[in-house]
Chains A and B, each alone.
Chain A
């Protein structure tokens, strides 16, 4: 073998080996964050290269929050998860023991670097004059919201309405039940997911008001037709906190623990917060907050911990089989048949 062929061989093997050595981070997220993380990944890769000189790649996986959590439970090697609700991350922790139960206290702000809230989307000119949650239970108003049994986003909608009713009626649970029951009596279609419900409202033109995450509502207006829809911000709503955490067990095995931690911590940096504001989530950083203030009107926001005692409790009481939501459906059915 002559020198030249050795050099070529060495060059070839270096070319083959080098990309495999670049560390690869897998972020398992839910549907509406696709664009947000695409932009954030570029930002972080650049930041990491500047700090350490290391080139990394980041892969993202999107889908319904519940099915994404199940994928991680069943062995998808996520280094970190960024999901729509803490309940799904709790489920991963509980079933895999890949990271501790107190994961939500490991990062600032309940591990939620960005938040959102639930708003009401109505058609141009607001023909049914929807001003607040109360208008959703009026007879003759059709409400579009997905099924809380199959959609994590829909659970936020439901809890937002429940929290409003509690607030209006001095924490009277029976009155809150009746309010939410009347709201669901006005729902003609229960789509299985949030994007399906958006289609029903926008493309099928079904319903008078669409209960949506704020970022989805702004997106619907920006992408699907300016001037065709209006956002109605209710007087009170829920603080939606999509949390993030490192899946320690997976990241450690892949030698990515430091990287995964840095990835999530950098989400709180001013640069990242700006990206977040641009993608219609509510930033938590002061600079971004001020910059995007027009986009996010002031709403009285309550948290799930304050009103429902956390996700586990809310899930058990309201959404699990035999829970309050099931009772509401049965109740409405019997009333309808009378």
Chain B
């Protein structure tokens, strides 16, 4: 069957809304990205490569992507747990806890960063006890992971929550009646249903963390080659009026993030297909 653009729907206005969508997205998304690429394209290839493959920059990719990945993985596990508790149990103060989850969205990231470092520095409320064990959080790579975990939490919780709420309890009951153990039910019934939502939350938390600047610069200590995140290097380039260098590194981050999101989307698509076709 030929592809049909114009579907007869009860609601008219497809052309108008699509036109608006394309225009709106161009203004907000495509044009800035195009400007970034345009800046980068003005650079000779050798300059571009020298900028983005400088050892200091490469170390920062490792930290930015590595810490973001770890942060997103932590959120995947504990965010799912938080969502589970919020949906499945009723307890006093549940609504308050539910509202608290959004805090990382609402709070200025710089404020969060300063608060985190106040807590986790060797003189801080939490830091001083952890420091006694010889573990330092503030001004180390661990501190970067803490900050990136903090800002990513709501993404997993808020994507898993509605799916979990809509999941019919009958499914689990049926599984139990048919003799499955609790673990088998969790593994074969609950988890497959949640998997797409979990992956989406994970991807969003990860993508957000890669670009995070405000909350990290305070806790990371910004020591080149060890605790320097890539966004800081971009700021440093801009500070030298090296716009093209900043754009070059930005482009690399954009491409890497794009590739990763594509991968996660493919994974999600595959898992949805696998579990719905059977």
Residues of A within 8 A of B (CB): 66-67, 70, 91, 95, 147, 149-150, 188-192, 196, 199, 203-206, 315, 319-321, 326, 329-330, 333
Contact = CB atoms under 8 A, between A and B. Distances in A.
Q: Which of A67, A95, A150, A196 has the most CB of B within 10 A?
A: A150
Contact of B223 (A150, A189, A206, A319): A189
Contacts of B218: 191, 196, 199
26 contacts: A149-B240, A150-B222, A150-B235, A150-B236, A188-B221, A189-B221, A189-B223, A190-B224, A191-B222, A192-B235, A196-B217, A196-B218, A199-B114, A203-B118, A204-B123, A204-B138, A205-B123, A320-B240, A321-B51, A321-B242, A321-B245, A326-B56, A329-B56, A329-B224, A329-B225, A333-B224
Contacts of B43: none
Contact of A190 (B123, B221, B240): B221
Contacts of A70: 238, 241
A176 B232 CA distance: 28
Given A199-B114, A204-B123, A188 B56 contact: no
A197 to B, nearest CB: 10
A272 B74 CA distance: 56
Contacts of A205: 123
A314 to B, nearest CB: 13
Contacts of B224: 190, 329, 333
Contacts of A333: 224-225
Interface string B45-64: 00000010011100000000
A333 to B, nearest CB: 5
B247 interface: no
Given A150-B232, A190-B222, 12 more contacts: A66-B238, A66-B239, A67-B239, A70-B241, A149-B236, A149-B240, A150-B236, A150-B239, A188-B223, A189-B223, A190-B221, A315-B240
B72 to A, nearest CB: 24
Nearest to B121: A204
Contact of B222 (A95, A147, A199): A147
A189 B139 contact: yes
A192 B117 contact: no
Ranked nearest first, the 9 interchain pairs of A and B with the lowest CB-CB distance are: A149-B236, A189-B221, A66-B239, A190-B222, A204-B121, A192-B217, A329-B224, A205-B123, A150-B236
Contacts of A321: 51, 54, 237, 240, 242, 245
Contacts of A191: 217-218, 222
Contact of A319 (B54, B55, B240): B240
Contacts of A329: 56, 224-225
B236 A147 contact: yes
A127 to B, nearest CB: 16
A142 to B, nearest CB: 11
Q: Which of A149, A326, A329 has the most CB of B within 10 A?
A: A149
B222 A189 contact: yes
